[in-house]
């Protein structure tokens, strides 16, 4: 199979655990991880069958769970319901909000109901209702409304459980805004002080994701061990989908790609069992798709990525749509990759999804570099580095800085054709275009064409920068 993005093969990266070609860096899903083990290629059917215990020869039937009995969404199974039993029936605004979230076809209605729930004197004062309204706003990508809801909750007599809901939502908002370090601080403090049993899976899952995002996979793994979620999860426990999604991300971050993909597929099954047909919730398909790419199961990756993109287009949340476009571009690794990731970057920037934006910019640079467009690749990496630094994420800032250094390590001869390299040497030596044409037996127009290509590949403005560029990269 053609290596993703066309430059460094996966086997090359896998053998060394780092970049192996001058001027070439790996896509984000193959970034070196200390202790990463070689990953065997896994056939799609084997992967799905081993994970779900069903025939996986046709991935569409196996990895795209559907609710076959028309059941209504059961939010308690996914997010839990904290506090005393709710006094409100299924027709309250919070119940309508989370029901719309589970169905995934009317984001505007979900947001409208959630806001109404938080504004209602009765519904908004119930910890369970407030929690379901908040998670709806979070999954609908309306973080300002969720933040305003936290401010309102602070004025209500919700007791200790209400404070826990506020803390968890604040932590999640920080994480989704790119401040994984801030999320870690809030969630660690809250877990240390204790949480309602119904909130404990969400608190653990969200803290695990924050730690993994910061590259602290050891602390994340220890957290799951302490909480009893390292191995088999208790059957029937609320929050299993959240825990599987978080554990899947951690396992993939620490190098256990196959186990991570399994967790994400099982997360999808948990959501389907809970009646959630909204494929944009928890982004389990796209996360599994990235793992499938690392396993070289491209058919599975494409199937998963395209299915999530379809759901994201229906749900219309900018963050979910931008992320889904990004993963489709990586899975397909075709001619439209740069255009898709560029569109993804615009959407993620609009949504202020800074963690996802860093990855999209990183892989946009990888795609541009593989096509010889070094100038745009450098700009994308510099922007990714700046965003990561703004977020205080040294882990990703380091990866982006390493990629920039890798680009600088490539020599002109490695990015220019033989004829372009000869034209560049003569131009650097001071020969005019007509003189270069005479020496090389070319037309003047051909020389001008080669020089334009050389300037683009070296990321310089023109001939006056050629000497410096060629010398610094020799």
**Tens digit of each residue's pLDDT (9 = 90 or more) over 415-467:** 677 788 889 889 888 889 999 999 998 888 889 888 888 887 776 777 877 77
Domain region containing 113: 75-311
From 262, 282, 311, the end of a domain falls on: 311
Specify whether 281 is located in the same domain as 429: no
Q: What is the pLDDT of residue 47?
A: 59
Q: Decide if 232 is inside a domain.
A: yes
Report the half-sphere exposure of 171 (CA within 13 A, side-chain side): 26
The tens digit of pLDDT for each residue in 303-323 reads 999 999 999 999 999 999 999
Q: Decide if 344 is inside a domain.
A: no
Residue 59 has pLDDT above 80, yes or no: no
Residue 193 has pLDDT above 70, yes or no: yes
Q: What is the pLDDT of residue 264?
A: 96
Q: Decide if 28 is inside a domain.
A: no
Q: Decide if 38 is inside a domain.
A: no
From 311, 333, 356, the end of a domain falls on: 311
What band does 66 get if pLDDT is binned at 50, 70 and 90? low
Specify whether 304 is located in the same domain as 184: yes
pTM for the structure as a whole: 0.79
Q: What is the pLDDT of residue 159?
A: 86
Q: Decide if 145 is inside a domain.
A: yes
What CATH number has the domain bearing residue 288?
A: 1.25.40.10
Q: Decide if 236 is inside a domain.
A: yes
Q: What is the pLDDT of residue 55?
A: 39
What band does 407 get if pLDDT is binned at 50, 70 and 90? confident
Do the Cβ atoms of 261 and 275 come closer than 8 Å? no
Specify whether 263 is located in the same domain as 128: yes
The string of DSSP codes covering 184-230 is HHHHHHHHHH---TTTHHHHHHHHHHHHHHTT-HHHHHHHHHHHT-S
The tens digit of pLDDT for each residue in 198-257 reads 999 999 999 999 999 998 999 999 999 999 999 888 777 899 999 999 999 999 988 888
Specify whether 282 is located in the same domain as 422: no
> Total domain count for the chain?
2
Specify whether 299 is located in the same domain as 435: no
From 252, 282, 311, the end of a domain falls on: 311
Q: How many other C-beta atoms are found inside a 10 Å radius of the C-beta of residue 68? A: 7
């Amino acid at each position: 199979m053609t290596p993703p993005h066309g430059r460094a093969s996966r086997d090359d990266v896998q053998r060394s655990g780092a970049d192996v070609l001058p001027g070439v860096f790996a896509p984000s899903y193959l970034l070196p991880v200390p202790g990463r083990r070689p990953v065997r290629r896994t056939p799609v059917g084997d992967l799905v069958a081993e994970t779900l215990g069903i025939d996986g020869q046709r991935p569409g039937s196996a990895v795209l769970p559907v609710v076959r009995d028309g059941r209504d969404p059961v939010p308690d199974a996914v997010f839990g319901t904290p506090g005393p039993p709710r006094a409100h029936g299924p027709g309250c605004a919070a119940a309508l909000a989370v029901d719309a979230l589970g169905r995934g076809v009317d984001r505007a209605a979900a947001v409208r109901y959630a806001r109404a729930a938080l504004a209602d004197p009765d519904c908004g004062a119930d910890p369970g209702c407030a929690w379901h309204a908040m998670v709806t706003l979070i999954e609908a990508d309306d973080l300002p409304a969720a933040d305003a809801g936290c401010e309102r909750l602070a004025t209500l007599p919700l007791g200790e459980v209400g404070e826990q809901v506020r803390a968890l939502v604040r932590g999640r908002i920080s994480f989704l805004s790119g401040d994984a370090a801030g999320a870690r601080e809030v969630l660690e403090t809250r877990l240390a002080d204790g949480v309602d049993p119904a909130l404990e899976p969400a608190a653990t899952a969200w803290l695990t994701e924050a730690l993994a995002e910061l590259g602290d996979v050891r602390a994340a793994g220890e957290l799951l061990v302490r909480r009893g979620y390292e191995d088999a999860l208790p059957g029937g426990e609320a929050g299993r989908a959240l825990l599987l999604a978080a554990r899947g991300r951690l396992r993939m971050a620490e190098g256990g790609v196959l186990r991570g993909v399994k967790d994400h597929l099982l997360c999808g099954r948990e959501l389907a069992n809970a009646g959630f047909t909204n494929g944009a919730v928890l982004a389990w398909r796209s996360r599994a798709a990235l793992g499938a790419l690392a396993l070289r199961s491209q058919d599975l990756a494409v199937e998963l990525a395209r299915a999530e993109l379809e759901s994201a287009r229906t749900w219309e949340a900018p963050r979910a749509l931008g992320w889904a476009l990004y993963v489709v571009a990586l899975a397909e690794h075709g001619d439209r990759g740069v255009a898709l990731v560029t569109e993804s970057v615009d959407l993620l920037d609009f949504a202020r999804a800074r963690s996802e934006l860093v990855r999209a910019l990183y892989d946009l640079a990888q795609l541009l570099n593989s096509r010889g467009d070094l100038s745009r690749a450098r700009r994308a990496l510099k922007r990714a580095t700046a965003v990561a630094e703004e977020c205080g994420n040294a882990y990703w800032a380091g990866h982006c800085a390493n990629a920039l250094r890798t680009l600088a390590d490539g020599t002109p001869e490695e990015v220019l054709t033989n004829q372009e390299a000869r034209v560049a040497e003569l131009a650097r030596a001071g020969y005019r275009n007509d003189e270069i044409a005479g020496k090389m037996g070319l037309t003047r127009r051909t020389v001008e064409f080669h020089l334009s290509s050389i300037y683009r590949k070296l990321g310089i403005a023109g001939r006056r920068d050629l000497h410096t560029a060629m010398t610094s990269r020799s």
